[in-house]
Amino acid sequence: MNVIRDSDAHVAEQPSVVGIGVFDGVHLGHQRVIATVRELADQRRAQAVIVTFDPHPARVLAPLRAPNSIATIGQRMESFTRLGVDRTRIITFTNEFASESAIDFIERVLIRELRVLHVVVGEDFHFGHDREGDVALLESEGDARGFMVTAAPIYGARTRWSSTVVRQALAQGNLELANATLGRPFVLRGIVEHGDARGGDLGFPTANLSLSPHQQLPALGIYAGAVKTSDATWWPAAISVGTRPQFYEAGPLLVEVHIPGFHGDLYDMELDVAFLRRLRGEMTFSALSELVAQMGHDVVQTLEIFKIFTPAAYPLLG
């Protein structure tokens, strides 16, 4: 897949079928949009193109209210590739770009740059200055400019597909809903950094993840999961998201990953950590021996859950 940023933008060599959106998390609704783009591109012998934005528009327009990110821009690009996208146009979202009218965006990006034949968006899509553009405007301009428009549904059965649903579900500890909306386990991507080795002292060494301050995290608690190391091997993972109340009254929020059976060096390695099931909330114990026993029980549960984890069932996990 070709990735084009603003400085590399040029007139496309082939006409395009274009999907537009932030696509944070690439949930099932996003996947339907992209699948429609791919199908229409094949029918029209065109390129399947996604136009997306970085950073999230709210990070520029309303930073104090901006949502956290479900996935990194790198994860987004990998998902697009696996879903068959030929080209991704990343638009750097700035205040200047936000002032561009919807009509000017259509002319500059869709018509002149991408030679659009067909546009696919979610049925609630808005764009342009003050969100003035919507599906109706795209359809009107399409009639005048010679491109077609498809509005993809944002509901699956009775469940609304949205990044907001995923964020809220994660924050509330409803991992089942978050994963169902994503169509796969939620994955945190981070770099392993040095910690205080407290887990190792207790017999359960952990990898501490360095994450973006804008990364959406699951609710505090202990999770059964899986971790993919740099050689693309998946391992079982007992995951703690929390502040370690056993040792600190107001400790920093950490994501710590214990990988049973792994004995290599993980420092500075990028890990993908998939969250499979929430086991329990954070707890304090009257004695360290009780904590260690509970950690042992968490690992046993994790190993059992990992036995039925099949990464191949989720193409976007890689």
pLDDT score of 196? 77
Q: Is 152 within 8 Å of 122 (Cβ atoms)?
A: yes
221: left (phi over 0), alpha (psi -120 to 50) or beta: left
Q: Is 284 within 8 Å of 232 (Cβ atoms)?
A: no
Look at residue 79 and tell me whether its pLDDT is greater than 80: yes
Q: CATH code for 184-317?
A: 2.40.30.30
Rounded to whole angstroms, the Cα distance separating 269 from 87 reads 28
What's the chain's average pLDDT?
94
Q: CATH 3.40.50.620 occupies which residues in the chain?
A: 2-160
CB atoms within 10 A of CB 73: 16
Where is 199: in which H helix or E strand?
helix 198-201
Q: Can you read off the two tokens belonging to residue 296?
A: 């042992």
pLDDT score of 76? 98
pLDDT score of 202? 81
pLDDT score of 245? 78
Q: Can you read off the two tokens belonging to residue 31?
A: 């996947």
pLDDT score of 157? 65
Q: CATH 2.40.30.30 occupies which residues in the chain?
A: 184-317
- Topology at the third CATH level for domain 2-160: Rossmann fold (3.40.50)
pLDDT mean over 227-236: 96
pLDDT score of 72? 97
Question: Using the 8-state DSSP alphabet, how is residue 315 labeled?
Answer: G
Look at residue 199 and tell me whether its pLDDT is greater than 90: no
pTM value > 0.75 = yes
Q: What backbone torsions phi and psi does residue 136 show, to the nearest 5 degrees?
A: -60, -40
pLDDT mean over 286-309: 95
pLDDT mean over 256-265: 94
Question: What is the per-residue pLDDT across 42-58, written as a single tens digit (0 to 9) for each?
Answer: 999 999 999 999 999 99
pLDDT mean over 26-32: 95
Q: Can you read off the two tokens belonging to residue 117?
A: 């034949």
Pairing of strands 116-122, 148-152: parallel
Pairing of strands 221-228, 234-242: antiparallel
CB atoms within 10 A of CB 30: 29
